[in-house]
Structure 1
Amino acid sequence: MELAGERSFGAQKTQTSSWQAQMVRPLSDKGVERPASFLTKTFTLQGSPADSQLRISALGAYICFINGKRVGNDILTPGWTAYDQRISYQTYDVSESLVSGENTIEIWLADGWYRSQLMWGKRPIHNTWGDQIAAIAELTSGDDLVVATDESWKSGELPIRKSGIYFGEIYDARLEGGAAEQGAEVISFDTSLLVPHECKPVHELDPLASVKSWQDEEGRAIHDFGQNAGGYVAFTVIGEAGARVIVEHAEILDKDGNFYNGNLRTAECRLEYTLKGGVPESYRPHFTFQGFRYARITIEGKADVTDVKSVPISSVYPLIGSFTSGNELVNRLVENTIWSQRANFIEVPTDCPQRDERLGWTGDAQVFSSTACYLHDSHGFLTKYVRDLMADQREDGAIPHVSPDPTRMRPDLYPGFFGSTGWGDAIEIIPHTLFLHYADEAILREALPAMVKWADFVWSISDGPIVSPPRAWGQRGFSFGDWLQPKGPSAKPLPTISDEASATIYLYICTDLVSQIAKRVGENEIAKRMAEMAAKVRSAFQDEFITPSGRVGGDDQTSYALAVVHDLVPEDKLDGVRKHFRNAIARCGGRIGTGFIGTPALLPALVKLGELGLAQQMFLQEEVPGWLYQVKRGATTIWERWDAIQEDGSIFNPQMNSYNHYAYGAVCQWLFEAVAGFSPTAENPGFEEIVFSPVILPELAPVSARHTSKRGDIAASWTLSASTVTYDVAVPAESRGVLRLRPEYSNATVDGEAVDASSDVLLSPGSHKVTFEIAPLREGLDVAAPSNNTP
C-alpha cells in the first residue's frame, strides 16, 4: 500500500511531503572539472538555537558550514547512490553552531561521484547523473522553518579549482574568503528521490604517520606510511605565497625501490596546494580520496612541509571481529583483509580505491559479504547496496556488473554491462547473508521480487537449465566465469571451469537459495516454482557435467569446489570426485587453481570431503598463486591478482593490477566458520543459535577468534597438545550454542563431563571448556610445483 506523500521503494518508505526547501544550483558553477562553488545565505534566528536541525543533500558532493563552523564530520556526503532513483540526505543537530540573531550558512559543492569522471580512461563517463551541481537544505528550530534553499541564495567560486574522484583536488589558498557575487537558480527536482542516509557516513579513521621517508633522484620527498589504505594525505606547510605542494600517490615501489603508480592508469590521483603564505597552513582534500601506501611530494617555490600523514577513511568502523593463529603470515593475511575492506567500503563496496575504476562490482561483493559482516558491522552498508542493485536492475531482470551503475546512463559507451552469473547473484546472496548475520527478514522480503526476476533472466539466457553464456562482452548473458583463475604453465595450460558449467552452477545456487528465502517470508508459490527450477538444474548439471567416474566440469579445482560445496555431487560419485579433485590440485603443484568465484569454495569443499590435510597444505603454501605469497612479498592489503608482483619482483601488466582488492580475502569467512568454528544458522539467524564446529589444523595452533554480534560477544579458541584439543567458547547471554564435532573427533568432554561426540551438544550462555581427541590428518600431496604456475 502506498500512502500519500510517500515514495515506495521495496519495503522502504520515505516521507517527502515535509520538504519545504528547493533544489538550487549556484550560478557561479561553470561545469564539470571546473572550480567548485558555494551557496550562502544570511538569516535571522528568533529565540534560542536549542533543538535546531539541518536536513541537507546535494547533486554532487557537499560540505556545510554554519557561522564558519563545519556541520558534522562526515565525508563525501551525500554519498553515492543510483542518483536518478534515490539520493541520500543527512540530518544534523546544529544547535551549538547557531546564535540567536544573525547567522550565515554556506554550502560547498563539487562534482563528486555525481558528475566527475567514472569508468576507465578509454571510455570515461562525465556528468553521469547530471551536469549541474546543486543543493537542497532546510534548517528548523523546533517546529519552525528558519531557512531553506531557494532562489534568494547567493553563490561564488571556491579555492577548490578542480576536483574529481579519480583526479584528486587542486586548491589555491590565496582565493579563500571569495565573495558571493552571483545568484542561485531553482531547478526541477523530485523530492521523493530523497532517502535518509542508510548506512554509517564515511569518517576518518586514526591517521598513519610516515614510517620511512627519503628523497628520490629529483629531490622529491617520498613517504612510506607502512600501510596501503583508502583515504588521503594531510599535511602542514609553511612558505611564501604562490608556492605549490604537489602530492602523488602509489601503492607499491618497483623492484628497484622506485615510486611506482603505473597501475593507476588514467586516474591522476594528485593533490595540488598553492600557499597563501606567511603562516603555517594545514590542508587535506575535501571531495576526493586515493588508494595508496606511498606519497611523493614535490615543492615548487619556497615552502617546507613540516608534517605529513595518511588519513584512512571508511564507512565501516569499528572493528568487531578478530582472528589470530600461531602463523604470523596468516595473522597478517587477516589484517590485510581488514584494511582492504575499510578501503573499499567507502559508501559502496568497490573493487579498488585507487585507479580509474573504483566501482561497486557485484561479483566481488557477493563473495566477500559474509567476511565483511564478521569483521565490521556491515548491515546498513550492504542493505544500501542491495537497494542500489534493485534500482539498477534492468527490465528483463538482469543485474548490472557494477552498482551504482554509470553504464545504465550511457549504454552507448558500455552496451550490455549487466547479466553475468556469479556477479548478478549478489541480489540473492547478499540479502541472505544479512539475514544470517543480523536476522534481517525485511531485506529478504524487500529484495525477493528482484531475486525472482534475476533467476528468470538467467534461465532465459539459454531457455533451460543448462546456461550457455555468449563469449563476447556486451552480449546478453555474458559471464565472467571464474575471473582471474590461474592458467598454469604456458606450455601446457591447466584446465579451467567453462562458462557453461559455472553459469549453470550459479543458476542452481540462485534458484535453490531463492526458494528457501521465499519459503521463509511466506511466499509459498514462489518457493515451489524456484524449488522445481533448482531440481531441474541440479539434474541437468549432473547429467551434463559429472562423468560416471566422478570428473566434474572442466576437471579443474573450481568445478569440484563449487559442485561439492553446493551439494551437486550424487552420493555415489563422492569418492570419484575426491580422487579427481586431488589430482586437479596435484596438476597445479599443490597450489591454488581458482579465481574469484572458485576460491571461496575451495577450502570449504576440501573440508567437506574430509581432506583436512590438503586444505591445510593449500592454505599455508607460500608460493604464487597462494594467499600467503602476497604476505611474504610485503602486501598490507589483498591483491587483485595472485601474481600482482611476480616471483622475480617484476610488476604484472599494470592495465589491470590493483594491490587493494578484497575478493580473495573472502577466505576469512572460512577462518571464522571452520578453523575457529562458529557460525550462525538459517533456522535461528542473527546468532540466536551458534554452531561451534572447529576444524583442527595443527599447523595453525593455537587459534583464537572473536566476533561482536547483535546478541553479544562470541569467542572461540583452541590449543593442541599431542592429539588433545582444548576448545574454549563463549556464548552470548541472548544466544544458545550447539557443539557439533566432526565424526573423526572422539572422547569429548564439556566443562569436565563426558558427552557423545557423535551428537549435537547444547551449550547454554556463558563460557565453556570443551576437550576432544583428533585423529591424524589425511596427508596432503607430495608434489613439485610447475615450473611456471602463473597466468
Structure 2
Amino acid sequence: MKTNLFKSIAIAAILVGSTACGSAPASFVGSLTDALDDSAWESSAWISAPDAQVVTGTIYDGTRSADGASWFVATVKNGGKVASAKWMTTGLGVYELYLNGQVVGEEILKPGFTHYEKTKRSFTYDVTDAINSASGAENVLAVQVTPGWWADKIITPAGHEGMIGKKVAFRGVLELTYADGSKELFGTDTENWKAGIAGPVKHAAIFDGEDYDARELPGYACTDRLGVPEINNEFNGEILPTCGAEIYLRKDIALKPVKAYVWKDVEGATEDAYGKVVISREYAAGEPMTIAPGETLVVDFGQNAAAVPSFVFNAKEGTVLTCLPSELLNDGNGAKSRGMDGPEGSCHRLNLRIPQTGMILNYTFAESKKPVAFTPTCTFFGYRLVSITATDEVTIDSIESIPVTSISKGIETGTITTGNELVNRLISNTVWGQRSNYLSVTTDCPQRNERLGWTADTQVFTETGSFFANTSSFFHKWMRDMRDTQTELGGFPGVAPLAQYGAEPTSMMRLGWADAGIIVPWTIWKQFGDTGIVDENWESMDLFMNHINDNKYDHIALSAENGNYQWADWLSYEPLESCSGSAFGHDKKGKWGPLPEAIEYWNYLSASYWVIDAGMMRDMAAATGRDAARYQAMVDNAKAYIRERFFNANGEFKTAILNTMQTPALFALKNNIFEGEAKEAMIARLRENFAQHGNCLQTGFLGTSILMGTLTDNGMVDIAYELLFQRKNPSWLYSVDNGATTIWERWNSYMIENGMGPRGMNSFNHYAYGCVCEWIWETAAGISSDPAAPGFKHIIMKPVPDKRLGTMDAEYKSAAGVIKSSWKYEGDKWIWNFTIPEGATATVTLPGETESKDYEAGSYTVEM
C-alpha cells in the first residue's frame, strides 16, 4: 500500500451551478458500499474548523445551536490510473459529501442518531464512476457539516453548560486502487485539508431548522476563506459501518398542495379570540403563487409527515422568505379557550413548544433571472401545512412536501385495504406515522423539540411496523442504540439512544419501556426469522432478565433506577394514570409521591412484563440452541408470584381499584394467569367494563398494545370489532372524524367541539396507537407468524371477518414469500382467497370453527 499523498491547492469555483447542503441535487454520484477495513481509520483523524462557534451558557429548551456550517476541502492527486475509488466517511453532526462539486450518496442527515459517546456510523461510497481516473489527475473532496445529532439541543439536557457536542467534525479515508493493483489511502489530517465556516447554510440544526443564503458559494468554491483544520478529540467511541436506518428523501411520494391561499387582514378579533383571517386570493393546484410583504401564504399538503418543503421560486436578490411548518390550522375564530394561537385560518404552532426559536426555514435569494430550486437537507420538520412570508415579492412556481424517512421504497412490504373508508384512513394514518417516525431511530414524533427514541412507543408498534416494511436492519441498528444506553446492572432506558432526556440514571427500568430490549428482538426474530438479532443482543437481554428476576421487577427495589416514577399505561383514561397526575398524591405527612395503590398497579404491570419477557427469552433460547428451560421456569415463577401477590383466589385483584380497570384485566388474560371460573369471571367483568364505557376503550400506550389480540384470544372478538368501529372519544376513528392524517399522541389531541388538547405535550404525528393495525393484519386479514417456525415459514391463518369491513385485500411480502388474504361477502356468503408462498405451510382456521387444517403452498378459495 502506498503512503498517504495529497496535493493541497487553493480551489477556485469548480462547477457552475453545483449545489450545497440545503439545495438538494437533481442527481447524486456514488453508491453505498461495504466499509473499508477498520485499519484504514488509522490513516485519518477527526478534524474541525478553528473558527467554528461554540455554544456557551446554560442550555434551555429554546437554545439554538451554533451558527455556520463547517467546510472541509482537499484535493487528491492520483498516483496512477485509478481502477476503483471508495470513500469511507463519518461525522460529528450532519454531513454532506461532495466530489468535484457533485453530491455523493442519496442518504441524507448522515451519520444518523446514535449514542453520542459510544457509537458513530460510517458511510462508504463507491465513487469510481465519479472521479477523474487518469494518472496524475486531481479530484476535489469536500464536506459540509452542521450541528444536528451532535452540537444540538437534541442530545443536550436543559441546564447543561453549553452543548454536549462542542464543535462539529469530519473524518474520512479515500481509498484509490490503481490499475497495477496497488492501493493508496488519503485520510483527513491537518496538513492536506482546509477547514472553515463558509457556504450558503448560515444556520442548521435538528430542532432549529435551516437558514440558507443563496448568495454564498459552497465551501469548495471559496477556499480562500478556509484555513488549517484542528484536531477534534471530543469523540472516543467506536465507528461502525451503517447497517440500517439510513435516511432518505422519498421523492416518489412527494406531496403536492391540496389548498393554498393568501391572507393579510383579520376580522372579528376580540379580547378572548384572535379573529379570522380574510382570504384575499386562492390558488388552484399547479398554479404559480405570489407572496408580497405583509401577506401570508398558507399551503396545505393534505397529509401530515416528517418532511421538508421543496421550492422552485424566484425573487429579487436579498429577499428573505420565511417558511413555518405547522400540523393544523387555528379555528373557532381563534378562540383562546380552544387553545388557539392565532386567527382562524392561520397556522397553529404552539404545540411545537418552541415556535419562536425552532422549526423555522429562512431562504435568502441570490440574483437569478430564472426560478431556482431549493430543498433543505440539513434538518427535517413534522407538518401538514406551511405558513410563508417574505420581505419582498416572491413567485413560487411550485412547492412540494418531500417525506424524510428511513422507510425507503425498497423495504416497503405490505399493503392492506378494506371496504371501509374510515378504516382505510386509519391504516393510511398508521403507515404515514411509521414513515414519519422511523427516522434513524424510532422517534416518538417528528415535529416538536423532542424526536427521541422512546422505547415503549417502539415496542408496542414493532410488530405492526414489520408488516408494512422490512424493519429487520433498522432494528439491528436501533438495538445497538439500546445496548449503548443500557446500564451495567442491566437496566434498559426510556429513550435510546441517550439524548436530552428519557435515559437519565433515574429513567431506567420504567415498566413497558425497558422491556423493549426483549420485545423488539423477539418480534424481529419471529417476523423475519432473524436469529442474528438474538445473538447480537443475547448477553444484553440476559443481563436485563437477571436484573428483573432478582427483584421481581419491583418498583421500590428499583427506585434508584426508576426515580420512584412510572409512565405505566401512559395517556389512558383509567384511574392511576401518570401523565394526568392521578397516580400521585400526598401521604399522611404531606409528602407528594405515588399513591400506594399506584405502586401496586405498577408492580403488577411490571410483573406482567416479567412473564412476557421470560416467555420471549424461552422462545429465542430454543431457536438459538440456548437453555430454554431456565426461562420456562422463570415464566412459571413469575405467574405464581402474580397470583399470590396481586389476586384473591377467585381471580379478583386484592387492590380493589384494579378491578374497575381494563388494562389490568387484559394483562392477566394475555398471560393466562387464571383458568376456569376465575378466568370467566374476569372476562365477565371486562365485558361489563366496556359496556359501562359505551363500548369505548380506556387504555393507554401499554394496554392498547395488547387490547385487540387479547380480546380476540379470549372470546371477545365482538368487542374488538366494536372498538375498531367506535367513533366516540376515545377511539381510533374519533381522530379520523376529527381530521387526522396520522396517528395522534392523545386520543383527543384535537376535538372539533373543544379545540386543542394540552399544548405542552400534544403531537399530531405519533404512531404508537397505530398498533391496532397488527390486529387488522393478524385477525381481520388472518396473517400471523408462528414462533415455532419464525419468518412465516409456517403461517397461522385465522381470519375473523366482519360485514362492516365490507372487503379485505391484504398482501405481505414476508421473509418466506408473498402471502395474500382477500375476502368479500356476496349476500350472506363469505368468499376467501388466500395464497401461501412456496416453501411455507399454513394452519388455517375458518371463521366460527375451532378445528384447523394444514395447507401446503398454493392459492386457495373458500366459500362459507
Q: Which amino acid aligns with 1:486?
A: Y
Contact 1:116 / 1:126 at 8 angstroms: preserved in 2? Answer: no
SS of 2:143's equivalent in the other structure is: strand
Structure 2 contact 117–237 (Cα < 8 Å) conserved: no
Partner amino acid for 1:452?
A: D
> Per-residue deviation at 1:580?
0.3
Q: Which residue of 2 aligns with 1:366?
A: 459
Counterpart amino acid of 2:836? V
Q: 2:384 aligns with which of 279, 288, 293?
A: 293
Corresponding position of 1:564 = 669
Letter in 2 for 1:361: W
**Alignment counterpart, residue 855 of structure 2, candidates 741, 749, 763:** 763
Query: Does the 8 Å contact 2:118/2:237 carry over to 1?
Result: no
Is contact 2:46-2:231 (8 Å) kept?
yes
Does the CA-based 8 Å contact 2:95-2:146 persist in structure 1?
Answer: yes
Matched, 1:478 2:565: yes
Match of 1:501 in 2: 604
Aligned to 1:441: 531
Shift of 1:126: 5.7
Equivalent residue for 2:313, pick from 211, 224, 237: 237
Report the CA distance shift for 1:470/1:338 in structure 2 as closer, same or farther (over 3 A).
farther
The answer to whether residue 313 in structure 2 is matched with residue 313 in structure 1 is: no
Alignment deviations for residues 324-373 of structure 1 (CA, whole Å, 9 cap, x no partner): 11211001100000000001011000100000100000000000001111
| Cα distance change, pair 14–613 in 1 and its aligned pair in 2 (3 A) | farther
Answering whether residue 256 of structure 2 is matched by residue 155 of structure 1, we say: no
Residue of structure 1 aligned with 2:753, choices 648, 652, 655: 648
Deviation at 1:377, TM superposition (A): 1.2
Which residue in 1 is equivalent to 2:140? 104
Q: 2:255 aligns with which of 188, 192, 208?
A: 208
- What is the TM-score normalised by the length of structure 1? 0.88
CA 1:284 to 1:357, structure 2 compared with 1: closer, same or farther past 3 Å? same
Q: Secondary structure at the match of 1:210?
A: coil
5 Å matches for 1:381-392?
381-392=474-485
Instruction: Output one character per residue of 1:43-95: Cα deviation in whole Å (capped at 9) or x when no partner.
Output: 21244444211111111111010111100111101111113222111111112
| Alignment partner of 1:264 is 2:352 | yes
Q: Kindly state the Cα deviation for residue 489 of structure 1 after the two structures are TM-superposed.
A: 14
Deviation at 1:710, TM superposition (A): 2.2
Structure 1, 300-309 or 494-503: larger mean CA deviation? 494-503
1:253 aligns with one of 329, 332, 344: 329
Give runs of aligned pairs for residues 344-383 of structure 1, distance below 5 A.
344-383=437-476
Q: Which amino acid aligns with 1:224?
A: D
Q: Would you say 1:726 and 2:831 are equivalent positions?
A: yes
CA contact (8 A) 2:258 2:302 kept: yes
Match of 1:628 among 733, 743, 750: 733
Distance 1:60 1:439, change over 3 A: same
What's the CA shift string for 1:464-515, capped at 9, x where partnerless?
46x335899974463211000014899xx99999222212211221223223
Q: Find 1:322's aligned residue among 415, 433, 447.
A: 415
C-alpha distance in 2 between matches for 1:122 and 1:390: 24
The answer to whether the Cα contact below 8 Å between 1:550 and 1:580 also exists between their aligned partners in 2 is no
Aligned to 2:227, which of 163, 182, 193? 182
1:38-57 pair list within 5 angstroms: 38-57=71-90
Structure-2 separation of matches of 1:478 and 1:114: 29
> For residue 176 of structure 2, what is the aligned residue in structure 1?
141
Query: Cα gap change, 1:522/1:229 in structure 2, threshold over 3 Å: closer, same or farther?
Result: same
- 1:676 is aligned with what amino acid? A
Question: In 2, are the aligned partners of 1:419 and 1:476 still within 8 Å (CA)?
Answer: no
Give the letter for the 1:310 counterpart. Answer: S
Aligned residue for 2:47? 24
SS at match of 1:112: coil
2:602 and 2:88 map into 1 onto residues whose CA distance is: 48
- TM-score calculated relative to the size of structure 2: 0.81
Moved more, 245-254 or 558-567: 558-567
2:160 & 2:570 partners in 1: Cα distance? 23
Displacement, 1:456? 3.0
Q: After the TM superposition, which of the residue ranges 211-220 and 102-111 deviates more from structure 2?
A: 211-220
Q: Which residue of 1 is the match for residue 707 of structure 2?
A: 602
Query: Aligned to 1:137, what secondary structure does the other structure show?
Result: strand
- For 2:572 and 2:558, locate their aligned partners in 1 and report how far apart those are by CA, in whole Å: 16
What does the per-residue CA deviation read over 1:304-330, in whole Å, with 9 as the maximum and x for residues that have no partner? 333211110111122311111121100
- Identity across matched positions, percent: 28
Instruction: Determine the C-alpha separation between the residues in 2 that align with 1:108 and 1:608.
Output: 54
**559, 579, 582: which is aligned to 2:684?**
579
2:210 corresponds in structure 1 to 169
Contact 2:211 2:362 in 1 (8 A): yes
Identify which range, 729-738 or 509-518, moves more after superposition.
Answer: 509-518
Contact in 2 for aligned 1:421/1:507 (Cα 8 Å) = no
| Structure 1 residues 16 and 147, CA gap change in structure 2 (3 angstroms) | closer
CA shift for structure 1 position 16: 2.0
The farther-off stretch of 259-268 and 475-484 is 475-484
Pairwise CA distance, 1:276: 1.4
Q: Of the candidates 756, 761, 767, which is equivalent to residue 662 of structure 1? A: 767
Work out which of the residue numbers 72, 77, 94 in structure 2 matches 1:61.
Answer: 94
Alignment: residue pair count: 738
Is contact 1:45–1:146 with CA below 8 Å preserved after alignment?
no
Are 1:138 and 1:145, in contact at CA under 8 Å, matched by a contact in 2? no
**SS, match of residue 436 in structure 2:** helix
- The superposition leaves residues 691-740 of structure 1 with CA deviations (integer Å, 9 ceiling, x where unpaired) of 11111223213112111112221110122345542221111113122213
Partners in 2 of 1:275 and 1:720 — Cα distance?
Answer: 59
1:422 corresponds in structure 2 to 512
Which residue in 1 is equivalent to 2:636? 535
Look up the equivalent residue of 1:93 and give its one-letter code: D
Partner Cα distance (2:556, 2:306) in 1: 35
Q: Given that residues 479 and 503 in structure 1 are in contact (C-alpha distance below 8 angstroms), is that contact kept between their aligned partners in structure 2?
A: no
CA distance in 1, matches of 2:302, 2:94: 30
Letter in 2 for 1:262: L
Q: Which moved more, 1:139-148 or 1:532-541?
A: 139-148
Gaps of 5+ in 1: 1-11, 746-757, 773-791
CA–CA separation in structure 2 for the residues paired with 1:696 and 1:329? 16
Say if 2:36 and 2:124, in contact at 8 Å, map to a contact too. no
Cα distance in 2, alignment partners of residues 123 and 539 from structure 1? 45
Q: Is it true that 1:281 corresponds to 2:281 in the alignment?
A: no
Q: Name structure 2 gaps, 5 residues minimum.
A: 1-33, 55-64, 265-293, 333-344, 584-596
Following the alignment from structure 1 to structure 2, what is the Cα–Cα distance between the partners of residues 443 and 485?
A: 32
Q: Retained in 2: the 8 A contact 1:317–1:377?
A: no
Larger mean Cα displacement after TM superposition, 286-295 or 481-490: 481-490
- Decide which of 433, 446, 461 is 1:340's aligned counterpart: 433
Question: What's the counterpart of residue 749 of structure 1?
Answer: none
Q: Which amino acid aligns with 1:29?
A: A
Counterpart of 2:341? none
Moved more, 296-305 or 648-657: 296-305
2:71 touches 2:144 (CA, 8 Å); kept in 1? yes
Tell me which moved more, 148-157 or 285-294. Answer: 148-157
1:547 shift after superposition? 3.8
SS at match of 1:519: helix
> How far apart are the structure 1 equivalents of 2:482 and 2:695?
38
Q: Aligned partners of 1:740, 1:469: CA distance in 2, in Å?
A: 45
Q: Deviations 1:615-674 (Å, cap 9, x if unpaired)?
A: 111110111100011111111100000000125141011000000000000111111111
Q: Deviations over 1:537-581 (max 9, x none)?
A: 211212333344443544311112222122223333221011100
Contact 1:732 1:766 in 2 (8 A): yes
